[in-house]
């Protein structure tokens, strides 16, 4: 995954001749004076507690589960269905979660991915069986409690529905499905069977995102009214995925599972009917956050996109997409821009929420844009939130001209203060969401991304490709998001 730097924020000058409201601008001295009222020891109390609680929980769970496991309670029997790149990432995270017993691995690439993961699990002393066909696995593995699915998007609906109907709880990767009918069938199967279905939008369980949602947007309403949002996932050009020739899957097996060739099997994301292209693959993560943080689903979307760079022979979906959503929030209209392109990885991936009092830049990455807030110079002070430890103390942005001998226009605002969101995830990115799934199976938590939430997100994202084809704005009706 690409992921680079940095911020895109600026406090813009007024237009020539424009008069600004006469609000006192705080200078550096005012800020420092203001901060001297903050008791230093209380500064990070909340953040420290939150971080500590978060790190403590798995440790406590681990010792509790060891005791529980000896009485044969609370152990969850798990199968992994789809042992490719993401299956491996999920497995690495699950191996850190106490109380899981791995029983089976199902993957059609028996000679490569399946073998690798079965061998890994055997090294961890799990007695696992390998399967090529999910139906055979479900027939034979009667003791399974849960199946974690990381197959290509077009397999999500058939795999999820079959597992739920066999009485298993399911964690299924995003995008929920490559079609709305598929996503719908998953919601209905979860409802009919009463089994849990968690969709793999892992940011929904990420402590930094939860902190921003609950504390900063919910309690502090720190951004004021959010009017615009933008997000992106930019990736540099990269070669198509290959495979070791001696492990190529025979043509009849490829065909049986819906692939025309090894090339298509490895690069399924780019093919219509199998994946949804970068907007679905990458955009689904962040457009889901637009919905979550704006508190609802959009009323319309317009989008421009195309296959501008890559080979049409091996890339059917659009390599470049720019989309604008409209949301009707209780506070008024909000517009959200999203861009994904695969020709230049500059600035990686992040989401940027801009309100009339401040801006939040957030990403899942701990390395790039993990969480910054800019207070608009005219907004009320944020001392209370600094004091509670919800945000870090501000780093005052130095006025540029000192270093670069630039001459600022007299009407130019001082740069906004920069605060950090003081919540760091020290576990693999997917661990909290998986933990939430297993906690829910044990009756100790509610799912953070149940089928209905995943469905709303799928409707929002899949509509972008439709809007590109329609070459006009397309509307959503509230009932489009419900099953």
> Binding residues for ligand NAD, how many (CB under 6 A)?
25
- What is the end-to-end Cα distance of the chain in Å, rounded? 33
Sheet holding 349-355, edge to edge: 417-420, 371-375, 358-362, 349-355, 226-234, 332-341, 320-329, 300-306, 474-475
| Segment interacting with ligand NAD, rule: CB under 6 A, options 17-25, 35-43, 58-66, 82-90 | 82-90
Q: How many residues are present in the chain? A: 483
List the beta strands (DSSP E) in 49-201. 76-81, 100-106, 129-131, 146-149, 169-173, 197-200
- Nearest distance in Å: CB 380, ligand NAD: 37
Q: Which of 193, 155, 195 is nearest to 173 (CA)?
A: 155
Whole-number Å distance between alpha carbons of 209 and 289: 9
- Nearest distance in Å: CB 182, ligand NAD: 12
Does the footprint of ligand NAD cover residue 3 (CB under 6 A)? Answer: no
Does the footprint of ligand NAD cover residue 243 (CB under 6 A)? Answer: no
Find the angle CA(150)-CA(152)-CA(153) to the nearest 5 degrees: 100
Please select the residue that binds ligand NAD; options are 47, 102, 107, 278, rule is CB under 6 A.
107
Please select the residue that binds ligand NAD; options are 3, 87, 231, 345, rule is CB under 6 A.
87
Please select the residue that binds ligand NAD; options are 82, 98, 278, 283, rule is CB under 6 A.
82
| Segment interacting with ligand NAD, rule: CB under 6 A, options 63-71, 107-115, 189-197, 469-477 | 107-115
Residue nearest to ligand NAD (CB): 84
Chain positions 246 to 305 lying near ligand NAD, rule: CB under 6 A, are 257, 281
Name the β-bridge partners of 355. 226
Does the footprint of ligand NAD cover residue 109 (CB under 6 A)? Answer: yes
Does the footprint of ligand NAD cover residue 163 (CB under 6 A)? Answer: no
Q: Which two tokens stand for residue 259?
A: 């692939």
Q: How many angstroms separate the Cα of 32 from the Cα of each of 257, 335, 372?
A: 64, 35, 19
| Segment interacting with ligand NAD, rule: CB under 6 A, options 171-179, 294-302, 353-361, 419-427 | 171-179
- Nearest distance in Å: CB 215, ligand NAD: 24
Helix (H) or strand (E) holding 300: strand 300-306
Whole-number Å distance between alpha carbons of 309 and 323: 18
| Segment interacting with ligand NAD, rule: CB under 6 A, options 83-91, 231-239, 291-299, 413-421 | 83-91
- Nearest distance in Å: CB 332, ligand NAD: 32
Binding residues vs ligand NAD (CB under 6 A) = 81-87, 106-109, 113, 134, 150-153, 155, 173-175, 200, 202, 257, 281
């Amino acid at each position: 995954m690409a992921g680079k730097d940095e911020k895109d924020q600026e406090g813009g000058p007024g237009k020539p001749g424009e008069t600004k409201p006469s609000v006192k601008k705080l200078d550096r001295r005012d800020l420092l004076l203001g901060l001297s009222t903050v008791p230093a020891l209380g500064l990070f109390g909340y953040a420290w507690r939150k971080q500590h609680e978060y790190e403590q929980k798995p440790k406590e769970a681990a010792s509790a589960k060891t005791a529980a496991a000896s009485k044969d309670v609370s152990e969850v029997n798990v199968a992994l269905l789809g042992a490719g790149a993401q299956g491996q990432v999920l497995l690495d995270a699950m191996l850190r979660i106490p109380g899981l017993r791995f029983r089976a691995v199902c993957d059609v690439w028996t000679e490569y991915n399946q073998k690798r993961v079965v061998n890994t699990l055997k090294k961890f002393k799990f007695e696992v069986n390998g399967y090529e066909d999910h139906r055979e696995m479900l027939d034979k593995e009667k003791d399974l409690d849960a199946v974690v699915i990381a197959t290509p998007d077009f397999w999500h609906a058939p795999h999820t529905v079959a597992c739920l109907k066999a009485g298993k709880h399911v964690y299924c990767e995003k995008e929920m499905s490559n079609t709305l009918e598929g996503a719908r069938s998953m919601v209905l199967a979860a409802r009919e069977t009463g089994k849990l279905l968690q969709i793999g939008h892992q940011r929904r369980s990420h402590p930094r995102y939860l902190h921003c949602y609950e504390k900063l947007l919910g309690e502090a309403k720190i951004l004021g009214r959010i009017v615009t949002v933008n997000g992106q996932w930019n990736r540099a050009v990269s070669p198509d995925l290959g495979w070791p020739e001696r492990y190529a899957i025979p043509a009849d097996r490829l065909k049986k599972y819906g692939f025309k060739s090894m090339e298509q099997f490895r690069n399924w994301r780019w093919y219509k009917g199998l994946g949804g292209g970068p907007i679905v693959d990458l955009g689904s993560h962040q457009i889901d956050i637009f919905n979550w943080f704006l508190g609802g689903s959009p009323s319309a979307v317009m989008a421009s996109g195309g296959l501008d760079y890559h080979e049409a022979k091996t890339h059917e979906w659009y390599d470049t997409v720019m989309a604008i959503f409209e949301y009707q929030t209780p506070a008024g209209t909000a517009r959200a821009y999203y861009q994904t392109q695969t020709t230049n990885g500059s600035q990686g991936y992040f989401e940027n929420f801009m309100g009339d009092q401040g801006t939040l830049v957030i990403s899942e990455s701990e390395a790039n844009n993990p969480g910054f807030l800019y207070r608009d110079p005219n907004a009320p002070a944020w001392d209370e939130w600094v004091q509670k430890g919800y945000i870090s103390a501000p780093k005052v942005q130095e006025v540029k001209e000192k270093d670069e001998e630039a001459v600022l226009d007299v009407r130019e605002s001082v740069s906004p203060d920069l605060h950090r969101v003081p919540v760091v995830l020290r576990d693999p990115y997917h661990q909290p969401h998986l933990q939430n799934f297993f906690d829910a199976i044990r009756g100790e938590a509610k799912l953070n991304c149940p089928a209905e939430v995943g469905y709303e997100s799928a409707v929002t994202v899949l509509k972008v490709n439709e809007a590109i084809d329609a070459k006009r704005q397309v509307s959503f009706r509230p009932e489009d998001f419900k099953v």
